[in-house]
Amino acid sequence: MPWLNMTIFIPFLFALLVPFIYKKFTPKIHTGWFVLVVPILIFIYLLTYIPAISNGKFIHSSLPWIPSYGINFTTYIDGLSLIFGLLITGIGTLVVLYSIFYLSKHREALNNFYVYLLLFMGAMLGLVFSDNVLVLYVFWELTSISSLLLIAYWYEREKSRYGAQKSMLITIFGGLAMLAGFIMLSIITDTYSIREMFTKVDSIVSHSLFLPAMLLVLLGAFTKSAQFPFSIWLPDAMEAPTPISAYLHSATMVKAGIYLVARMTPIFGGTAEWFWIVSGIGLITLLYGSVNAVRQTDLKALLAYSTISQLGLIMSLLGIGSAAMYFGIGDESEVYTVAILAAIFHLINHSTFKGCLFMVVGIIDHETGTRDIRKLGGLMNLMPVSFTLTIIGTFAMAGLPPFNGFLSKEMFLTAVLNVSQMSVFNMESLGSLFPIVAWIASIFTFVYSMILVFKTFRGKYRPERLEKKVHEAPIGMLLPPIVLASLVIGIFFFPNILSNYLLKPAVASILPSLAMGGEIYVKKISAWHGWNTELYMTIGIVVFGTLLYIYLRKWIRIYLFYPQSMTLNNMYNSGMEKSEDLFQSITNRYMTGSIRDYLVYIFAFIIFIIGGALWLLDGISFDHSQDASISVYEGGIVISMVISAVAVLLSNSRLTSIVAVGALGLLVSFLFVLFRAPDLALTQLVVETVTTALFLLCFYHLPQLRKEISKVRFKATNAIISIGVGVVVTIFALSVNGTKLFDSISSFYENSYELAGAQNIVNAILVDFRGIDTMLEILVLAIAGIGVYTLIKLRLSGGDENEGTK
Amino acid sequence: MINFILICSLLFLTFSILAISYRLVVGPSAPDRIQALDALGVNLIAGVAIFSVFLRSVAFFEIILLIGILSFIGTIALAKFIERGVVIEHKRSE
């Protein structure tokens, strides 16, 4: 097995070992220490690829899975997937380290936790390294499932289960849509490999399935990355343990959708639909997330909405950057290439500072016992390290120097300003909205960032509201956020190292058509870029943001005006309830529990299907040329049969019906005689008599025999259905009789004496030519006999509870 | 000539069966219907016999005997049902 493919399986294999390790070493050693090895090793292994990738090489290895269907486990590393791989393993390492100190080895079920976490890590690695769309989908669903398990880690809490169910419903809904999109893509291109799809872009764009495929793939990406309006699952996923929130719901899984959009940009990019949907939804999400984050009182919920908002920012940048595909190689496209660069850059930045912030919030929760902003305050002197880390994280999130968020925020503003000048895709009319929306959203981002720092750490310390005595966290818990915070500052001062080694190949892999000629043009990232519009906008953000924060108490009540019933969450909840009620009532309407109704459905189905098929396929044809003549006495017998049949239907008592049925049986046997079938007539007679006797036996057991005798309930529906079935079957039989496609094979059985030594053809067929049928019919009779015997003899105590209730 | 007579007999038998089915439907009581069923059996015996002669075949002779036996059993069963309410009496249960 190639090393690269092995890398993806290591977390899965180690997950198998975790329960044994847990059993052996608990409570002496925290299980997390053993798990820590896995992400570190993979991280170091992936680091060795950086030189090759930054030189524009690709690493590719394939492992056959279902080769006959063209489904191979193909892994492919380029700049984009390497960045994701490093994020997954790097932050994974830190999260595992953090969780060792966060989760108690005495109280928590650590074996479950680390199995789920490793499962997720492996799935996420598989997702970003897969080249085959179906394999990608498999890993995609694995991340959904492991995320479900991790959100519901404290499954005894109701809110955890609610959050887990919600996230599962939404992400799996999107995942299935994405699968449909992938299948459409593979129908268009006749391949499952993403790289091979890149070479067939021209045929994809002109295909009629282009738009459906694009929409379905985007649905998957948007649900996973919590874009508007599918963002509602992310705040509820905050019921997970904080390491999980930091890892899955800020740094890795929610970026799977971003990864997918970036990965699919070479296929769909350059079209107006892609540009508008991706950047439009991204901007809406950006605004929605930042506006909603301000009103949150729970620190994790605030961070969740901030994550939604930042993901929207990255998404909109990817949309804007796809315009570069439209312009092709040239100066004009370079302007939009910056957007892609900004997207990737902000993706890394966001993972660092948001991971750091989540971990700090976890520390605060751990040390004070609450995450409620209204209870917290004045922690600055008590938790100086956490305070510093929060300052770094939030100021990076708000986009202030000297933190990495400043650089990517500036690039974001550059991109929206550039795109507002664009002259294609109808941007002349709506283009000016882009910078305005971005600017307003950035102001709100600034406001909630300030809330996060100052409401938690400044103000008055109120120990009476807190459950615990507050003190600084242990060093092990602080170490992972310290590493991330130092990355936040480090990237600000040396952005171009990151840019040269990781960002440039990533941009090249998102825009392969522009990188054809070798090197792709990437602007040098610099902290100081002169007095330009972006800087003025940033100054405006700080000024307005500060003003809004100072007067927060005055205007925060505006949120109360927004009706509770109009929130997306409420719509989701009532939608779920109403759809359950709706389907319940639909099911109750036709699943009545009455056999008569089900028979009506079945017979109506027969009428419509057989009758409809006869009608539509021109099957109705009557041919009387072959018919034998009818003698008078035959007609008379048939008439008396009809009379007795009608008597069965219209009789007033059961006994009359039985007698009429008996008469019918006798007449049928006479009909057999008239049609020269002595064996049939014999059997018919005996069976008829036995049946009559059995009916009489049943009568004895019917409760209140004489009183219950009532008229057969006559209903119009019954009549219509039964007449319909009769007519359809009659027409069908007559039509079949009229169209004989080939001669009968009965002439073969005429020499039964020579072949089987039998003079009776019927009996020769029954026991010789087609003896197996007879054997199985004997079996049927045996089963029926045993069944009757057991039903009578095997009366379980108490009997059926429904018996006798009527 | 003989065929004509046979067919005529079959026709009369058919009229007879039609008349019996009238009694079968109209009743008015259960014993009337049971008697009609019994008479139907007798008519069928005659019908099968005439038809066998008409076909010059002995293949249906068993049917004649069988109808005789079964129509007797059927009538007895029905009669017993009317008389006692049961067809087969369980001595043990008494």
Alpha-carbon distances, residue A12 vs A5, A17, A29, A137 (angstroms):
12, 9, 22, 17
| Cβ(A250)–Cβ(A354) below 8 Å | yes
Residue A725 has pLDDT above 90, yes or no: yes
B20/A647 Cβ within 8 A: no
Q: What are the residues whose beta carbons fall under 8 Å from the beta carbon of B79, sequence distance 6 or more?
A: B31, B34
DSSP state letters, A551-607: THHHHTTHHHHS-GGGSHHHHHHHHHHHHHHHHHHHHHHH--S-HHHHHHHHHHHHI
A792 and B CB contact within 8 Å: no
A707 and B CB contact within 8 Å: no
Q: How far is A648 from chain B (nearest CA, A)?
A: 9
Query: Which spans in chain B are helix H?
Result: 2-26, 30-55, 61-84
From the list B22, B25, B77, the residue facing A696 with the nearest CB is B77
Average pLDDT over residues A87-111: 88
Q: What percent of chain A has pLDDT over 70?
A: 93
Residue A335 has pLDDT above 70, yes or no: yes
Q: Say how far apart CA A607 and CA B62 lie, in whole Å.
A: 42
From the list A644, A676, A700, the residue facing B86 with the nearest CB is A700
Q: What are the residues whose beta carbons fall under 8 Å from the beta carbon of A34, sequence distance 6 or more?
A: A18, A21, A25
Alpha-carbon distances, residue A794 vs A798, A799, A800, B63 (angstroms):
12, 10, 12, 39
DSSP-based three-state secondary structure for A103: coil
B10 and A CB contact within 8 Å: yes
Size of interface A-B (CB pairs under 8 A): 120
pLDDT tens, position by position, A7-41: 888 899 999 988 888 888 877 888 888 888 889 99
Q: Which of A652, A670, A679 has the most B C-beta neighbours within 10 Å, making it the best mutation to test the interface with B?
A: A670
Average pLDDT taken over every residue of chain A? 84
For A629, which DSSP code? P
From the list B11, B34, B55, the residue facing A633 with the nearest CB is B11
A646 and B CB contact within 8 Å: yes
A647 and B CB contact within 8 Å: yes
Residue A727: what pLDDT?
Answer: 92
DSSP-based three-state secondary structure for A625: coil
B17: nearest CA in chain A?
Answer: A640
Q: How confident is the model at residue A106 (pLDDT cuts 50, 70, 90)?
A: confident
For A130, which DSSP code? B
Q: How confident is the model at residue A801 (pLDDT cuts 50, 70, 90)?
A: low
Q: How confident is the model at residue A1 (pLDDT cuts 50, 70, 90)?
A: low
Q: What percent of chain A has pLDDT over 90?
A: 21
Average pLDDT over residues A64-85: 87
The token pair that represents A452 in the structure block = 């996060």
Each of the 94 residues of chain B gets a pLDDT tens digit; together they read: 888 898 888 889 888 988 988 888 887 888 888 888 889 889 989 988 988 888 888 888 888 888 888 888 888 888 888 887 777 776 655 4
Q: Angle at which helices A110-129 and A32-47 pack, to 10 degrees?
A: 10
- Residue A796 dihedral angles phi and psi, to the nearest 5°: -70, 150
A646: nearest CA in chain B?
Answer: B25
Residue A777: what pLDDT?
Answer: 94
B88: nearest CA in chain A?
Answer: A697
The token pair that represents A482 in the structure block = 């310290």
Q: Show residues of chain A in contact with B36, CB under 8 Å.
A: 659, 663
Residue A90 has pLDDT above 80, yes or no: yes
Q: How far is B12 from chain A (nearest CA, A)?
A: 9
Residue A223: what pLDDT?
Answer: 92
A71 and B CB contact within 8 Å: no
A636/B44 Cβ within 8 A: no
Q: How confident is the model at residue A761 (pLDDT cuts 50, 70, 90)?
A: confident
Q: How confident is the model at residue A282 (pLDDT cuts 50, 70, 90)?
A: very high
| Cβ(A383)–Cβ(A511) below 8 Å | no
The token pair that represents B24 in the structure block = 């079968």
B40 and A CB contact within 8 Å: yes
Token look-up 């059926």 returns A800
- Residue A26 dihedral angles phi and psi, to the nearest 5°: -75, 140
Residue A705: what pLDDT?
Answer: 41
B59/A660 Cβ within 8 A: no
A728 and B CB contact within 8 Å: no
A700 and B CB contact within 8 Å: yes
Q: What are the residues whose beta carbons fall under 8 Å from the beta carbon of B6, sequence distance 6 or more?
A: B50, B53, B54
| Cβ(A429)–Cβ(A420) below 8 Å | no
Residue A802 has pLDDT above 60, yes or no: no
Residue A805: what pLDDT?
Answer: 44
Residue A703: what pLDDT?
Answer: 54
Q: Which of B14, B35, B61 has the most A C-beta neighbours within 10 Å, making it the best mutation to test the interface with A?
A: B14
- ipTM strictly over 0.95? no
Residue A709: what pLDDT?
Answer: 45
Q: How far is A616 from chain B (nearest CA, A)?
A: 41
Token look-up 């770094």 returns A392
Rounded to the nearest angstrom, the gap between the alpha carbon of residue A139 and the centroid of all alpha carbons in its chain is: 12
Average pLDDT over residues A747-761: 84
Q: Say how far apart CA A496 and CA A526 lie, in whole Å.
A: 8
- The three-point CA angle A443-A458-A374 to 5° equals 80
Lowest mean pLDDT among A391-395, A611-615, A795-799: A795-799
A696/B47 Cβ within 8 A: no
B20 and A CB contact within 8 Å: yes
Q: Is the dihedral of CA B75, B80, B86, B88 positive or negative?
A: negative
Token look-up 């072959």 returns A626
Q: How far is B94 from chain A (nearest CA, A)?
A: 15
Amino acid at B59: A
Q: How far is B83 from chain A (nearest CA, A)?
A: 13
B14 and A CB contact within 8 Å: yes
B58 and A CB contact within 8 Å: no
B52: nearest CA in chain A?
Answer: A673
Q: Show residues of chain B in contact with A685, CB under 8 Å.
A: 63, 66-67, 70
Residue A407 has pLDDT above 60, yes or no: yes
Go through chain A and tell me how many residues it has: 806
Q: Which of B87, B89, B90, B92 has the most A C-beta neighbours within 10 Å, making it the best mutation to test the interface with A?
A: B87
A655/B63 Cβ within 8 A: no
| Cβ(A109)–Cβ(A136) below 8 Å | no
From the list A653, A667, A682, the residue facing B66 with the nearest CB is A682
Q: Show residues of chain A in contact with B21, CB under 8 Å.
A: 640, 643-644, 647, 663
Average pLDDT over residues A528-553: 81
The token pair that represents A365 in the structure block = 């929760």
B25/A644 Cβ within 8 A: yes
Q: How far is B1 from chain A (nearest CA, A)?
A: 17
Q: How far is B55 from chain A (nearest CA, A)?
A: 9
Residue A74 has pLDDT above 50, yes or no: yes
**Other Cβ atoms within 10 Å of A369 Cβ, number:** 15
Q: Show residues of chain A in contact with B67, CB under 8 Å.
A: 666, 669, 685
From the list B36, B67, B81, the residue facing A696 with the nearest CB is B81
Average pLDDT over residues A228-251: 88
B39: nearest CA in chain A?
Answer: A663
Torsion of CA A746, A748, A753, A754, to 10 degrees: 170
A666/B63 Cβ within 8 A: no
Residue A312: what pLDDT?
Answer: 92
